[in-house]
Structure 1
Amino acid sequence: MAVITDLRLRLDPPVESAVYFGVAELVTNAVKHARATRARISMTRDDTDLVIDVEDDGRGGACVRADGGLAGLRRRLAAFGGTLEITSPAGGPTRARIVVPCESL
């Protein structure tokens, strides 16, 4: 797994927790469900948002179901004005993007 970032900031504890557990859930899903052998996490901050991209080399096919973990992650991020977008074609790779507005930081 590769983690790429140049950020030197601390988030408010509730936001930090939501982002941490969100990334952990995405990586866990990659290993458990997609059988990924590699994952790449990048974190950047632009003028308005904290952007976290998680990409794996798994088999793809991830989808957001109303009763699933990804929907729960979306709800947790939405509490801070954040979003989660998933692109996961059959055969992979899966790419997930978490965006949290800077006003939440």
Structure 2
Amino acid sequence: MEVAVEVEGLAEDGPRAPAAIEAAAYFVVAEALTNAAKHSGSSRASVRLVRLKRGLRVRVADEGRGGADESGGSGLLGIRRRVAALDGTMEISSQPGGPTTIDAALPCVW
């Protein structure tokens, strides 16, 4: 799967997010891309990381068939639980016919 990555507001020499936030962001991206590769039928996806004033936004999107459903397995529910454990939020947009977008907001102080 071809994955385009975009990073906004994060610099290599700038402050890093706390380790728990970095780990959660990694989990969101890894699990969402795994789901996309297994279920979407798409050969392309995108990842966007944006530094917010009080957090980190992680967006993973694919151009696949859509219809992602949290009740269909542990992947999406696992993402939601990991994000919620850090008082973050997650939204899934996945109409039948696609595309699918997972948006997670992870709160942190820089």
TM-score, structure 1 normalization: 0.88
**Unaligned 5+ runs, structure 2:** none
2:24 to 18, 34, 53: 18
1:68, CA displacement in angstroms? Answer: 2.2
> Structure 1 residues 91 and 42, CA, compared in 2 at 3 Å: closer, same or farther?
same
- Between 59-68 and 94-103, the greater mean CA deviation after superposition: 59-68
Counterpart Cα distance in 1 of 2:91 and 2:37: 19
Q: Distance in 2 between matches of 1:66 and 1:54?
A: 19
| Partner residue in 1 for 2:97 | 91
CA deviation after TM superposition for structure 1 residue 14, in Å: 2.2
Please, what TM-score do these two structures have when normalized by structure 2? 0.84
Compute the displacement of 1:67 (Å): 5.5
Answer yes or no: is the 8 Å Cα contact 2:17–2:108 preserved in 1: no
The residue number in structure 2 matching 1:62 is: 68
Mapped to 2, the partners of 1:58 and 1:67 lie a distance apart of 18
Q: What percentage of residue pairs aligned between the two structures are identical? A: 44
Q: Which runs of 4+ in 1 moved over 4 A?
A: none
Compare the two structures and name the one with the higher strand fraction: 2
Residue-by-residue CA offset, 1:10-43 (whole Å, 9 max, x unaligned): 2222221121021110011011011121111111
> How many positions carry a matched residue from both structures?
104
Verify: 1:29 aligned to 2:35, yes or no. yes
In structure 1, the gaps of 5 or more residues are none
Correspondence 1:44 to 2:46 = no
